[in-house]
């Protein structure tokens, strides 16, 4: 997996990589602006406290791309970064991976995440030839739960105190979607 494609969604809405060299400051400024939003839903983005940590995240994406274990995209409308939609923990031998995502608060509740996740899922099943996609979400994160269920992900279980986020252990639901399931959008 060398260069990730640019995934056109509609109009000037697209998924494309975030460049760690030229877009780190912009990326970090958006994370900072959304800290309270992320904290309110116990999302791990709230734990990014420095530009170095933000760079680490982007570089992790770069190495995952080279190793074929992930594909991390920014969600862009023109030159505006709305959020991130990622495939990670890709295991070729099992044809499965995890998906993760966030939007800036100001772009939430408008349908962007449904369109972006739907495009990411199609890319993962078709281009990456995956069979199973997993997602975990804090059990209190209603927007994320609604998003996953809207796309067609099914809840498979409860992961008790599985993640250390925002200074405490958080219970997560495990969701999954198979290539043979019906995608909602």
Ligand X SMILES: CC(C)(COP(=O)(O)OP(=O)(O)OC[C@H]1O[C@@H](n2cnc3c(N)ncnc32)[C@H](O)[C@@H]1OP(=O)(O)O)[C@@H](O)C(=O)NCCC(=O)NCCS
CB 134 within 8 Å of CB 179: no
Q: Write phi, then psi, for 17 (nearest 5 degrees).
A: -60, 150
Task: Tell me how far, at minimum, the Cβ of 84 lies from ligand X, in Å.
Answer: 9
CB 80 within 8 Å of CB 145: no
85 touching ligand X, by CB under 6 A: no
108 touching ligand X, by CB under 6 A: yes
112 touching ligand X, by CB under 6 A: yes
What mask of x and - would describe binding to ligand X in positions 42 to 61, judged by CB under 6 A? -x------------------
Query: Which one of residues 6, 32, 92, 109 is an interface residue with ligand X (CB under 6 A)?
Result: 109
Distance CA 63, CA 156 (A): 30
CB 137 within 8 Å of CB 145: yes
CB 123 within 8 Å of CB 138: no
Residue number of the CB atom closest to ligand X = 111
Binding site for ligand X (CB under 6 A): 37-38, 41, 43, 83, 101-103, 108-114, 137, 141, 143-144, 146-147
């Amino acid at each position: 997996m060398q260069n990730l494609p640019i995934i056109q969604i509609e109009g000037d809405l697209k998924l494309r990589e975030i460049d760690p060299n030229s877009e780190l400051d912009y990326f970090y400024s958006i994370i900072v602006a959304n800290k309270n939003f992320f904290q309110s839903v116990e999302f791990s983005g709230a734990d990014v406290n420095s530009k170095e940590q933000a760079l680490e995240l982007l570089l992790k994406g770069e190495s995952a791309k080279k190793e074929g274990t992930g594909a991390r995209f920014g969600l862009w409308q023109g030159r505006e970064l709305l959020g991130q939609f990622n495939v990670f923990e890709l295991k070729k031998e099992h044809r499965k991976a995890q998906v993760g995502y966030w939007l800036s608060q100001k772009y939430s509740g408008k349908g962007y995440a449904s369109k972006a996740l739907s495009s990411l899922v199609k890319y993962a099943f078709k281009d990456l030839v995956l069979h199973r996609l997993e997602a975990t979400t804090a059990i209190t994160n209603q927007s994320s739960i609604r998003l996953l269920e809207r796309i067609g992900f099914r809840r498979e279980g409860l992961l008790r105190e599985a993640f250390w986020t925002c200074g405490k252990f958080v219970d997560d639901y495990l969701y999954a979607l198979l290539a043979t399931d019906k995608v909602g959008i």
